[in-house]
């Protein structure tokens, strides 16, 4: 099962302590162009996961290739991106079981005042809103669920 | 002079502040940051404080979770600054020990304080040590 999570903080407490346990994750793939090329960020992301948890850090396009590997498709994988645009690009090219837009648009350096609030932890600017619309057209299992204990809120669809 | 920044997800830092009051610990050199309680980026305030105090001496940043975003963001920002020390997973014993430190903090002092603080976490049973 491949779960894709949109989270502005990528790897953080909620993800490593709650979600990896809940999804019985075999590995985390961080798909982010900055992290994929920034050595310091790669080191800190790797440090943030508990020992024994596999983590791969790739640019978005590298992650797309990696997710096509048949061995990966059989595992429980949590893919982390930090914006809806990256989520859309991955979904366009890969089979993703569920997309969870959990935390987005609050800590990207621009004010939330100019953005549309979709949930308490999800804000979208015009570009992100456009990508969300596109994402909903190609994927019918897009949800918002911050922690595993929260109820699943479906986005779009029937 | 060491400045101590206590960071937390939510109000744990504020709770530590209240606990320090109970023990009448001087909080002059301590600042408390309860992150993610609103939609502002916590690193903006944290960084402003680091930049202010780094001129005068060492800054010790305490974070609540090793795997949390605050630890990661601080490490990414300050990894090459030898005046900034980051410690994760603090408890009250550690905060009190660092708050009582009068001398400029050193790596040795930090490691000693951590060791003592770790010793405070115990499965408490009668007759146990």
Mean pLDDT value across residues A113-142: 96
Whether the CB of A116 is below 8 Å from some CB of chain B: the reply is no
For A48, name the nearest residue in chain B, comparing CA atoms only.
B67
CA of B41 to nearest chain A CA: how many angstroms apart?
5
CA of A158 to nearest chain B CA: how many angstroms apart?
30
Band of pLDDT at residue A158, cut at 50, 70 and 90: low
Report DSSP state, residue B37. Answer: S
Task: Say whether B39 and A41 touch across the interface (CB within 8 A).
Answer: no
Nearest alpha carbon to residue B10 among B50, B38, B29: B38
Mean pLDDT value across residues A79-102: 97
Task: Say whether B68 and A48 touch across the interface (CB within 8 A).
Answer: yes
CA of B74 to nearest chain A CA: how many angstroms apart?
10
What's the pLDDT tens digit per position in A3-13? 999 999 999 98
pTM to 2 decimals?
A: 0.86
Q: What is the pLDDT of residue A44?
A: 94
SS3 A54: strand
Q: Classify the phi-psi angles of B38: left when phi > 0, otherwise alpha if psi is within -120 to 50, otherwise beta.
A: beta
**Mutating which of A44, A102, A111, A120 best tests the B interface, going by the most B Cβ atoms within 10 A?**
A44
Query: Could you state, in chain order, the average pLDDT of each consecutive group of 10 residues for chain B (129 residues)?
Result: 95 97 94 93 95 95 95 96 97 95 92 94 86
Report DSSP state, residue A50. Answer: P
Q: Which residues of B touch A109 (CB under 8 A)?
A: 41
> Residue A31 forms beta bridges with which residues?
A58
State yes or no: ipTM above 0.90: no
Contacts across the A-B interface (CB distance below 8 Å): 41
Say which of A12, A41, A50 has its CB closest to residue B69: A12
Mean pLDDT value across residues A103-107: 92
Q: What is the pLDDT of residue A157?
A: 67
Say which of B39, B69, B75 has its CB closest to residue A9: B69
Q: Which residues of B touch A16 (CB under 8 A)?
A: 67
Q: Which residues of A touch B77 (CB under 8 A)?
A: none
- R_g of chain A, CA atoms, integer Å: 15
SS3 A100: strand
- Judged against a pLDDT cut of 90, whether residue A107 lies above it is answered with no
What's the pLDDT tens digit per position in A53-90? 899 999 999 999 999 999 998 899 999 999 999 999 99
């Amino acid at each position: 099962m491949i779960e894709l999570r949109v989270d502005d903080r990528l790897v953080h407490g909620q993800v490593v302590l709650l979600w990896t346990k809940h999804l019985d994750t075999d590995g985390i793939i961080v798909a982010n162009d900055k992290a994929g090329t920034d050595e310091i960020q790669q080191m800190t992301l790797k440090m943030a996961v508990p020992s024994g948890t596999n983590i791969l850090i790739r640019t978005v396009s590298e992650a797309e290739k990696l997710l096509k590997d048949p061995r990966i498709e059989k595992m429980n994988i949590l893919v982390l991106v930090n914006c809806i645009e990256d989520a859309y690009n991955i979904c366009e090219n890969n089979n993703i079981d569920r997309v969870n837009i959990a935390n987005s648009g609050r800590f990207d350096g621009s004010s939330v005042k100019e953005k549309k609030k979709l949930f308490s932890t999800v804000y979208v600017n015009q570009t992100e809103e456009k990508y969300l619309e596109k994402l909903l057209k190609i994927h019918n299992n897009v949800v918002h669920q911050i922690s595993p204990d929260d109820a699943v809120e479906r986005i779009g669809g029937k | 002079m060491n400045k101590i920044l206590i960071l937390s997800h939510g109000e744990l830092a504020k709770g530590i502040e209240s606990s320090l009051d109970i023990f009448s610990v001087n909080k002059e050199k301590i600042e408390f940051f309860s992150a993610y309680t609103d939609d502002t980026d916590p690193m903006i305030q944290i960084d402003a404080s680091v930049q202010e105090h780094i001129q005068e001496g060492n800054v010790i940043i305490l974070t609540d979770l090793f795997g949390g975003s605050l630890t990661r963001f601080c490490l990414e920002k300050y990894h090459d600054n030898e005046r900034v020390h980051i410690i994760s997973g603090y408890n009250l014993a550690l905060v009190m020990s660092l708050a009582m430190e009068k001398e400029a903090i050193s790596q040795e002092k930090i490691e000693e304080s951590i060791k003592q603080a770790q010793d405070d976490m115990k499965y408490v049973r009668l007759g146990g040590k």
